[in-house]
Structure 1
Amino acid sequence: MGALALATGGTLAFVWFTVRGDDAQGSQTDGLPPETTTVRKQTLRDTRTEDGELGYGPSTAVTGRLAGTFTALPAEGKRISRGGMLYELDNRPVVLMYGAKPAFRDLAAGVVGPDVRQLEAGLAALGYTGFTVDEEYSDLTAKAVEDWQEDQGLSETGRVELGRVVFAPGKIRVESRQAAEGQQSGPGGEVLTYTGTAKAVTVELDSADRQLAEKGTKVTVRLPDDSSAAGTVTDVSTEVQPATDKQEAETKVNLVVGLEGKNAQKSAAFYEQAAVQVDFTTGTRRDVLTVPVAALLVLPQGGFGVEVVDETKSTTRYVSVTTGLFADGKVEISGDGITEGITVGMPT
């Protein structure tokens, strides 16, 4: 009798074997294995687990562009939608609009570009009409802006000065406030930070593990209540952590994992922040023949085998096999006479 230690997904599985030299070929009739299992065809997936943090994903800072005094600021945790006030300067609002491109200039008649389209799309969504949503800031756009400015209590200039509108990809959640009411605002000063409103998981990897996940990679997130949720890597970024007195500079890969489906978001909503585990698939073998790792034997002539029980369950024989992927306590096997549904012994 002996034992074999097999690496399976970062752990060791000890396989006991009882093959004698005279039994290594052919059949034996002096006893059947105490337990058996069936060769199954299935898909094996080898996974690697990394720690993650459940929250709302990375935060973005809003910096001031206009001079004035802060007269109102949102509470932390507040949700703000398109057309909503982010904060007030001198009792006049700075307004949220949706768009991927940040505001970078004044917008007025004659200006052309994707930031114009973002503004016009926002105005149209808020019910302002009379213009075409395109990349040209026309006189008709200026008229709609005047109507919007009137409703906001702003001077009706038809021109949107830089800093009056902040573009974000969608509805936001205020994460923190860096400014205070009564404080003076100046160009470049940080006002607040925000995140998205959907729950997301952030994962930090060493640079050597960069191959684990690309944008669009499917993963499984295990929540604190032991439930699982499907997730997709939505963003990948690299961060260089500077050297300190105690350690050298390091490069880290930061992933954002979005949770898929209403049920996943509902389950995650119970936790404002929480430690979670994220399972990445590192290897996949589809429709292969498998047995539990514990069914493997070490043959006297070398290599691995299994003890095949004949159909009458009266004799057994040892069959040499080639192993493939080890995953989740199973192993892929192939060899002469190894087919789906045959019975093999489980050594004790």
Structure 2
Amino acid sequence: MEEGRQERAEAAPPEEEQRVARRRRRSRRRWALGTAALVAAGGVAVAATLGLGGGSGADPAASTLPPNTTKVTKQTLKDTQDADGELGYGPSSSATSRQKGTVTALPESGATVSRGRAMYEVDNDPVTLMYGTQPAYRPMEIGTEGKDVKQLEENLSALGYTGFTVDDEFTYDTYEAVLEWQDDRGLEETGKVELGSVVFAPGAIRVDGLEIGEGEPISPGKKLYSYTGTDRAVTVELETSDQRLAKEGATVDVTLPGEETVQGKIDEVSTKIVPATQGEEASTTIEVVIWMTGAKARKAVEKLSSAAVDVSFTSETRADVLTVPVTALLALQEGGFGVEVVNGTTTSYVPVETGLFAGGRVEISGQGIAEGTVVGVPK
């Protein structure tokens, strides 16, 4: 009887043997469920969907090696986003009169004015530029105290006047220094700094556009001209949903015409509201002012009066993390993600935790995942 069974097996047609072999292969691979599209923050990847039968650990060794492999690498990931910017001199301010009289002198458009110089003249008396962030808002004389007094004394000291202590008190010593300054400026020597005789700005200014001409009358509140700073700056308008990108003090990359990239620093972030008009809805954007930092950046832009530039913002950085290409991620049927770890001629599926997605790569961590680990990349 045994001989009969052997004879029947030997006599089995080749087609039957092939069907048996195919059924065995399908049995070994019955857990493989094909491929699915994986959409992840920061990129879109094609990954395998794996049914692990509810298991929580690594899957038993796969029967075949993946078509492509890559290594887990340690690197710094940056979540970046590009935006259009305009190179110029930054936002403008207005030189506004606090006095009544006649304009007798004005600078030319494009001219620069530095500390101690006249911004304009009213009735032949110069209105002097001094540096500071606190606007002038009152007369200053003996007994006056405050931040504006300290700014005044800092400027007098920078201009070479001495004999007083730089603090927030206008003393008799300050009075004597003011007398000397008024004498040098050709002003009436009163020892008192009248409102409108000095203007405080953060630094030197550049005249942007005149609003009035010499010989015209002015009164308090009259605008004479607009001005900007003298340093080059980039202005970017972002959607409100991208406000996370704009952090004061953060460094950005600015790509200039000619593809040269330099660094800038975010100096100011403000909300810009455009009221509704006929046929147009109101809009809100985030205005970001970026100053060029470093000698390289300043030299690169010194010959450009204005230009369209590209600005690359970095919203998040993860230093020295383990990463793989996003395409190496596998979507697990039970939820979450995994990777196919290759060990010699065998592989196993390992669940992983994902972190930052950036530049086509993703931060991962998991049991047995280390720098240099070989993982599969599905087709």
Give the TM-score category using the shorter length.
0.7 to 0.9
The separation in 2 between residues aligned to 1:225 and 1:345, in whole angstroms, is 40
The separation in 1 between residues aligned to 2:340 and 2:184, in whole angstroms, is 82
The separation in 1 between residues aligned to 2:331 and 2:49, in whole angstroms, is 8
The separation in 2 between residues aligned to 1:20 and 1:143, in whole angstroms, is 87
Residue 314 (structure 2) pairs with residue 281 (structure 1): yes
8 Å Cα contact 2:66-2:378 kept in structure 1: no
The separation in 1 between residues aligned to 2:169 and 2:364, in whole angstroms, is 64
2:74 to 41, 45, 48: 41
Corresponding position of 1:233 = 266
Residue 356 (structure 2) pairs with residue 325 (structure 1): yes
8 Å Cα contact 1:8-1:329 kept in structure 2: no
The separation in 2 between residues aligned to 1:208 and 1:275, in whole angstroms, is 23
Q: In structure 1, the residue corresponding to 2:226 is in which secondary structure?
A: strand
Residue 160 (structure 2) pairs with residue 127 (structure 1): yes
Corresponding position of 1:263 = 296
Q: In structure 1, the residue corresponding to 2:258 is in which secondary structure?
A: coil
Q: In structure 1, the residue corresponding to 2:356 is in which secondary structure?
A: strand
Q: Which amino acid aligns with 1:207?
A: T
| Cα 1:328/1:270, change in 2 over 3 Å | farther
Residue 83 (structure 2) pairs with residue 53 (structure 1): no
Corresponding position of 1:272 = 305
| Cα 1:288/1:321, change in 2 over 3 Å | farther
| Cα 1:129/1:20, change in 2 over 3 Å | closer
The separation in 1 between residues aligned to 2:103 and 2:165, in whole angstroms, is 35
**1:147-170: CA deviation from partner (whole Å, max 9, x where unpaired):** 222222222222222211111112
Corresponding position of 1:26 = 61
Corresponding position of 2:173 = 140
**1:244-294: CA deviation from partner (whole Å, max 9, x where unpaired):** 222333333322223332222222334322223333333443432211223
Corresponding position of 1:308 = 341
Q: Which amino acid aligns with 2:61?
A: G
Q: In structure 2, the residue corresponding to 1:123 is in which secondary structure?
A: helix
Residue 116 (structure 2) pairs with residue 86 (structure 1): no
8 Å Cα contact 1:305-1:318 kept in structure 2: no
The separation in 1 between residues aligned to 2:235 and 2:75, in whole angstroms, is 32
Shift of 1:302: 7.2
Which has a greater percent of helix? 2
The separation in 2 between residues aligned to 1:154 and 1:4, in whole angstroms, is 78
| Cα 1:111/1:318, change in 2 over 3 Å | same
Corresponding position of 2:366 = 335
TM-score relative to the length of structure 1: 0.85
Shift of 1:182: 2.0
Aligned-pair Cα RMSD in Å: 2.9
Shift of 1:3: 5.8
Shift of 1:339: 1.8
| Cα 1:204/1:82, change in 2 over 3 Å | same
Corresponding position of 1:212 = 245
The separation in 1 between residues aligned to 2:290 and 2:310, in whole angstroms, is 11
The separation in 2 between residues aligned to 1:166 and 1:305, in whole angstroms, is 64
Shift of 1:118: 1.6
Residue 284 (structure 2) pairs with residue 251 (structure 1): yes
2:217 to 184, 187, 203: 184
The separation in 2 between residues aligned to 1:272 and 1:211, in whole angstroms, is 30
The separation in 2 between residues aligned to 1:88 and 1:227, in whole angstroms, is 43
Corresponding position of 1:170 = 203
Shift of 1:120: 1.9
Would you say how many aligned residue pairs link Structure 1 and Structure 2?
339
Q: Which amino acid aligns with 2:362?
A: V
Q: In structure 1, the residue corresponding to 2:152 is in which secondary structure?
A: helix
Shift of 1:2: 4.5
Q: In structure 2, the residue corresponding to 1:159 is in which secondary structure?
A: coil
Q: What residue ranges of structure 1 are gaps of 5+ in the alignment?
A: none
| Cα 1:121/1:286, change in 2 over 3 Å | closer
Q: Which amino acid aligns with 1:26?
A: A
8 Å Cα contact 1:32-1:316 kept in structure 2: no
8 Å Cα contact 2:35-2:49 kept in structure 1: yes
Structure possessing the higher radius of gyration over alpha carbons? 2
The separation in 2 between residues aligned to 1:110 and 1:284, in whole angstroms, is 52
The separation in 1 between residues aligned to 2:161 and 2:216, in whole angstroms, is 34
**1:193-251: CA deviation from partner (whole Å, max 9, x where unpaired):** 22222222222233344343343344333333333333333222223321222233333
Q: Which amino acid aligns with 1:89?
A: V
TM-score relative to the length of structure 2: 0.78
| Cα 1:18/1:112, change in 2 over 3 Å | closer
Percent of paired sites with the same residue: 52
Q: Which amino acid aligns with 1:13?
A: V
